[in-house]
Amino acid sequence: MSEAAIERPRKVKADLPEQLSWQSSRRRLVTVYLPVLCFVFVLLFPFYWMTVTTFKPNAELYNYAENNPFWVRSPTLANINKLLFETSYPSWLFNTMLVAVCATVLSLVASVLAAYAIQRLRFRGSTYVGLAIYIAYLVPPSILFIPLATMVFQLGLFDSPMALILTYPTFLIPFCTWLLIGYFKSIPYELEECALMDGATRLQILWRITLPLAVPGLISAGIFSFTLSWNEFIYALAFISSSENKTVPVAILTELVQGDVYQWGALMAGSLLGSLPVAIFYSFFVDYYVSSLTGAVKE
Amino acid sequence: MSVSTERHVTWKRPQVAPSLFTRLFDSKPFLIVACLLPAVGLLLVFLTYPLGLGIWLAFTDTHIGRGGYFVGFENFESLWYDQVFWGAVFYTVFYTAVATVLKFGLGLWLALLLNENLPFKSLLRAIILLPWIVPTVLSAIAFWWMYDAQFSIISYVLVDVLGWRDTYIDFLGTPWHARWSLVAANVWRGIPFVAISLLAGLQTIPPSLYEAALLDGASSWQRFTRITAPLLMPILAVVLTFSVLFTFTDFQLVYAITRGGPINSTHLMATLAFQRGIPGGQLGEGAAIAVSMIPFLILATVFSYVALARRKWQQGGDDE
């Protein structure tokens, strides 16, 4: 008791200057704002470079001595024009969209039902089913694509969007189910019990009560699935062979890179246009995306 | 509880006279099966079965276009004496280890920075996640262009603007340059995920702990090692597992930038499996390379499970 009384004044004195200096704006500038700016610069620079290159005419692109490479002096739409009208970019975009939307819808439906069964119907062994689905998330596409390729071939799905629509859920369902279980957990049981008392069937409860309350979870899972499907590469590379059926990431890498001379302008235009839809889509739902990424289900 | 509910429902039913269909969907066992069927069915057919098929293929000499015969450990034996395979194993481990350390070091730093009260917090978070959102292959192409031997913007800055070097760096032309360049691109892509996940972990730490520590006279380093680190450990373990798993089985980045070159120095096990299996046509050997990744993945999964269980225990079973 007495010891604490003696020590207290000394500590307050020792602490106060440190606190104040920590809060001082100059120190904060060096220790917080400057590093954050560096991080943002490094993380964004490739996108800036992509954009700048897209709008550069070839004369500027390959001549750093006379042009400042960080800026475009005479912007041109030639690269974008070439991409849109001289390649099958529109059909690649359509394929990607089709596959991403179908795979997302399929995974969402399957995941909602599975998550509802695991979290709300609570049968014996439900936790094990949940665990098995979680473990399925840890099986990466890189070890599955060879056997899946032979399966896709035998099923006659090779080179069709259906092959991708059916295989993407293998990595989407585990994630979505896991996320939705978390959301369902946060919905009070009492609501469902009330509905049961009022004579609702279980499906009515799922449709009328649980799902509307889990809408944020559904949006998060949907966004995440959509961007994951948009990004998917190895299955699309292995299962699709004809040019017009390819998805954007695969097509840009395999169709635009030919021979030894790379058309950097066109490549960057392809990358930019391939990234924009998903970036725009994402910008509308950042918070949902973040909450799904972190698995945090705080509303 | 449930008994009384059931009784209530059956008492009400005669008024509604439900059809057979409704009654079927109201029986719990049927509902459980019906609800689990789409997800479990899809996963069994397109995940579990191929996993088994892959292991089987690894023991056959299957080629594209013809079925194979069981050849025992022949594929693995030939891999054992295969310099390219061991090169890929080495680079996979190197790539995973170096990239993970850098990703977590920088990611944790960024998370700590973001946890300060910054202006435009949500905008900042949105910007930082951008590298994670954009398709990896497309950002990899941007890196490819930045690593160009003649027109690299990085070399331009180092040579012509800052004058630190005399010659342009041949980023992708020599083995070690290419290896480090790929690691850098992977770290660039991975930082956002680590930073945002850890930020979520940091925000669950109650500020009162820091206040108490401040009153007790703890230095900022002590606050970090005694409060932040231990409380962050469970979520860190989970994020770490995922990060290691996905870096170890990475494919897109390497395939897009170097395709394993120069002289096979940057092959990951996944890219080597692809090269042998799909364009090379030797499905059996490709599958054997892919299967060689499994022991590592099992290790990571067990680790993740233990970490997850610990996290549940710490937070009273109320997580995810």
B91-144 pLDDT, tens digit per residue, is: 998 999 899 999 999 999 999 888 887 888 888 888 888 888 888 888 898 998
CATH architecture classification, A87-294: Orthogonal Bundle (1.10)
| Domains of chain B, earliest start first | 4-58 (no CATH), 73-314 (1.10.3720.10)
Kindly determine whether residue A141 and residue B34, on different chains, have CB atoms separated by under 8 Å.
Answer: no
Say how far apart CA A117 and CA B8 lie, in whole Å: 23
Which of A32, A121, A143 should one mutate to test binding to chain B, selecting the residue with the greatest count of B CBs within 10 A? A143
How many A×B Cβ pairs under 8 Å?
A: 303
Residues A250-257: contacts with CB under 8 Å, at least 24 apart: A250/B137, A251/A88, A251/A89, A251/A92, A252/A92, A252/B137, A252/B138, A252/B141, A253/B137, A253/B141, A253/B255, A253/B256, A255/A87, A255/A88, A256/A87
Kindly determine whether residue A227 and residue B9, on different chains, have CB atoms separated by under 8 Å.
Answer: no
- Share above pLDDT 70 across residues of chain A, in percent, rounded to a whole number: 88
Count of other CB atoms within 10 angstroms of residue A63: 11
Q: Please say whether the dihedral angle defined by the alpha carbons of residues B171, B175, B179 and B180, taken in this order, is positive or negative.
A: negative
- For A263, name the nearest residue in chain B, comparing CA atoms only: B145
| Structure token digits, residue B46 | 């397109």
A152-187 pLDDT, tens digit per residue, is: 888 888 888 899 999 999 999 998 998 888 888 888
Taking the mean position of all CA atoms in its chain, how far away is CA B252? Answer: 12
Question: Average pLDDT for residues B283-303, to the nearest whole number?
Answer: 85
Please report residues of B whose CB lies closer than 8 A to that of A231. 135-137
Q: Identify residue B230 by its one-letter amino acid code.
A: P
pLDDT of residue B319: 42
- In what helix (H) or strand (E) does residue A118 lie, and over which residues does it extend? none
With 90 as the cut, is the pLDDT of residue A125 above it?
A: no
Say how far apart CA B50 and CA A146 lie, in whole Å: 8
Say how far apart CA A277 and CA A68 lie, in whole Å: 29
| Structure token digits, residue B128 | 């930082």
Question: Average model confidence (pLDDT) for chain B?
Answer: 82
B167: pLDDT confidence band, cut at 50, 70 and 90?
confident
- In what helix (H) or strand (E) does residue B274 lie, and over which residues does it extend? helix B269-277
A18-75 pLDDT, tens digit per residue, is: 454 455 777 777 888 888 889 999 999 999 988 888 888 877 777 777 777 778 777 7
The complex scores an ipTM of 0.82
- Share above pLDDT 70 across residues of chain B, in percent, rounded to a whole number: 88
Q: Please identify among residues 139-178 of chain B the ones whose CB lies closer than 8 Å to any CB of chain A.
A: 139, 141-143, 145-146, 148, 150-151, 153, 156, 160
Say how far apart CA A146 and CA B51 lie, in whole Å: 10
Q: Identify residue A204 by its one-letter amino acid code.
A: Q
Kindly determine whether residue B43 and residue A136, on different chains, have CB atoms separated by under 8 Å.
Answer: yes
Taking the mean position of all CA atoms in its chain, how far away is CA A241? Answer: 25
pLDDT of residue B107: 92
B254 interfacial to chain A (CB closer than 8 Å): no
Kindly determine whether residue B131 and residue A43, on different chains, have CB atoms separated by under 8 Å.
Answer: yes
pLDDT of residue B150: 80
A11: closest CA of chain B, how far (Å): 6
Using alpha carbons, select from B204, B194, B200, B201 the residue that is nearest to residue B129.
Answer: B194
pLDDT of residue A7: 44
Would you tell me the crossing angle of helices B175-203 and B121-133 to the nearest 10 degrees?
140
| Structure token digits, residue A152 | 């896709």
Domain boundaries, chain A: 2-54, 87-294
pLDDT of residue A78: 79
pLDDT of residue B308: 62
Greatest mean pLDDT among A194-198, A260-264, A294-298, B234-238: A194-198
Q: Please identify among residues 279-308 of chain B the ones whose CB lies closer than 8 Å to any CB of chain A.
A: 283, 286-287, 290-291, 293-294, 297, 300-301, 304
CB neighbour class for A142 (10 Å; exposed up to 12, middle 13-18, buried from 19): buried
In sequence order, which ranges of A198-245 are alpha helices (DSSP H)?
202-205, 211-213, 215-231, 234-239
A2: pLDDT confidence band, cut at 50, 70 and 90?
very low
Question: Average pLDDT for residues A97-103, to the nearest whole number?
Answer: 93
Q: Identify residue B294 by its one-letter amino acid code.
A: I
Q: Identify residue A228 by its one-letter amino acid code.
A: L
Please report residues of A whose CB lies closer than 8 A to that of B156. 64, 69
A114: closest CA of chain B, how far (Å): 5
pLDDT of residue A299: 28
B79 interfacial to chain A (CB closer than 8 Å): no
Using alpha carbons, select from A82, A53, A81 the residue that is nearest to residue A67.
Answer: A53
Instruction: Return the DSSP state at A198.
Output: T
Count of other CB atoms within 10 angstroms of residue A213: 16
Using alpha carbons, select from A253, A35, A75, A64 the residue that is nearest to residue B143.
Answer: A253
Residues 6+ apart with CB under 8 A from B169: B152, B154, B155, B158, B177
- For B184, name the nearest residue in chain A, comparing CA atoms only: A42
pLDDT of residue B296: 81
pLDDT of residue B313: 55
Looking at the partner chain, which of A113, A274, A287 has a beta carbon nearest the beta carbon of B35?
A113
Contact B172, B183 (CB under 8 A): no
With 60 as the cut, is the pLDDT of residue A294 above it?
A: yes
B248-276 pLDDT, tens digit per residue, is: 888 989 998 888 878 888 889 899 999 88
B190-205 pLDDT, tens digit per residue, is: 999 889 888 888 888 8
Kindly determine whether residue A43 and residue B128, on different chains, have CB atoms separated by under 8 Å.
Answer: yes
Contact A220, A297 (CB under 8 A): no
- For B8, name the nearest residue in chain A, comparing CA atoms only: A197
Q: Is-cis flag, bond preceding B119, omega within 30?
A: no
Taking the mean position of all CA atoms in its chain, how far away is CA B12? Answer: 52
Phi/psi at B66 (5° precision): -145, 145
B49: pLDDT confidence band, cut at 50, 70 and 90?
very high
Kindly determine whether residue B53 and residue A147, on different chains, have CB atoms separated by under 8 Å.
Answer: yes
Q: Identify residue A115 by its one-letter amino acid code.
A: A
Say how far apart CA B180 and CA B174 lie, in whole Å: 10
